[in-house]
Amino acid sequence: MSQRLALITGCTRGLGRALVERFIREGITVVGCGRNLRQVEELNEQYAPEHSFYPVDVSDSEDVSRFAHIVLEELGPPDLLINNAALMNDPAKLWDVPAAAFSRLVDVNIKGVHHMIRHFVPAMVERGSGGIVNFSSGWGRSSSPDVVPYCTSKWAIEGLSQGLAQELPAGMFCVPLNPGIINTEMLQQCSGEAASAYPLANEWADDAAAFILKLSASDNGQPVTVA
């Protein structure tokens, strides 16, 4: 087993899936979670037993707790906790966004990150090492019409990450990461055909994986962007 363990949420598609493949090629042991059982099973068929994947809804604290118990018992604390799982809202004026849709987005994009931190970071702190990478967005540092719920969630991730960074012991780090603009299902959902002007997730992952693996305690609390 690799000396480095990366835990990736939202690992079954988009940026998460691309990072799984790229990290494995780099010799990193990967454990991941996602909501789509069939896609989780496909990952296990492809990469087990060296790597492991679980069906988990990060918005459900009890589900995350069960997941954390398994991972911490079998593998120990991750060296990298990568909170990637997120939802995008269907484009609409804020006053037209249904309450249930707004709540579900907050449950995944904000509360899901907190659930992962609450159940995994204490073991990382006890060990005294490791990093938390919370996926933000360009829309976590700016805003745009028709995607206000998503912007709201990513602005929250910026603040959450910088606040958590101040609470971590020396030697650890937490950063909000803007991955850049990538042609994923989420971008297609809000931008339509314009998404095709941007690189695919697998193309992005070549640079992004190397960037993430170079992050260290010297980056703690700094908003970072995949160059």
Active site residues: 150
Distance CA(88)–CA(157), nearest Å, equals 14
Distance CA(220)–CA(133), nearest Å, equals 10
3-state secondary structure of 84: coil
Closest CA to 8 of 158, 133, 155, 163: 133
CA 68 remoteness from chain centre:
16
* Neighbouring-strand partners of residue 81: 7, 132
Backbone angles phi, psi at 92, to 5 degrees: -170, 155
User: Within 168-226, where are the H helices?
Assistant: 185-191, 201-213
Distance CA(72)–CA(56), nearest Å, equals 15
